[in-house]
Amino acid sequence: MGRLAGMVQPQNVIYLPPGVVPAAPAPPPARTDRAPFDRQFFETVLPQAVAAFCKQVNCGAPRVELFTTDGSTHFVAGISGVTDSWVAVQAACDDHPHVIQAFFPYQTVYRVEIHAESDENRRHLGFVAPTEVQVPPAVQPRPARQVSSAKGSKKKA
C-alpha cells in the first residue's frame, strides 16, 4: 500500500492493456477540391463510355447531355479540345439552328448523361459525327489582271 513517490503520468499518453494494438490512423479524407469531371474524363472516359453504350443499346449516334451548375443543359455533338482547366465542346441548342462551340471550366460540370435516341425522334445532334461531311465548293480565284506596259506610253506635247 505504498505509493510510488514522484511518479507522474503525462496527460496525453494512453496506456493500453497487454495484447491490445492501437488502431491504424484513419486515411486522409478524399480531396473534394478536385472537379469530378476533368481532362482525363473528357479525353478517355467519355469517348469509351459512349462507344460502350452504343454497343449495349445498339444506337449509332447517342445524345450526350452536359449539365452545368448554372442549371443549363448542353447537348454535346463532340469534344473540340481540353486543357487542365476547361473543356471545349461542340454543342447544339434549341435557340440556334447550328452547332456552337462552348468552353466549360471543369468545376461547372456536375453531370454528364448518355441517351439512346432514334433517328425519327432526334431533336439534337448526336455525339458521333456523320460519316460523310459536306464540304463547300472551293472558292475560285479571280483571273489575274493583266497590266499594260507603262513604257513608251507617254504622250508628247
Report the CATH number that the domain containing residue 49 is assigned in CATH.
2.30.30
Residues sharing a CB contact under 8 Å with residue 122, sequence separation 6 or more, in sequence order: 61, 63
**3 in a domain, yes or no?**
no
H/E stretch holding 125 reads none
CA-wise closest residue to 39 among 131, 107, 96, 97: 107
Q: Residue 66 and residue 112: Cα distance in Å, rounded?
A: 5
Structural domain boundaries enclosing 107: 39-118
Percentage of the chain modeled with pLDDT above 90: 32
- What is the total count of domains within the chain? 1
**61 in a domain, yes or no?**
yes
47-100: pLDDT as tens digits:
999 989 988 888 878 889 999 999 999 999 889 999 999 999 998 877 777 889
CA-wise closest residue to 83 among 103, 108, 67: 103
pLDDT at 63: 87
Vertex 142 angle, CA 137 and 145, to 5°:
170
pLDDT at 5: 57
Query: Regarding predicted confidence, which is higher, 11 or 116?
Result: 116
Residues sharing a CB contact under 8 Å with residue 77, sequence separation 6 or more, in sequence order: 89, 90, 91, 92, 99, 124, 125, 126, 127, 129
Confirm whether pTM is higher than 0.85.
no
Q: Which amino acid is at 40?
A: Q
User: 42-51, 60-69, 114-123: which has the minimum mean pLDDT?
Assistant: 114-123
C-alpha cell at 118: 432514334
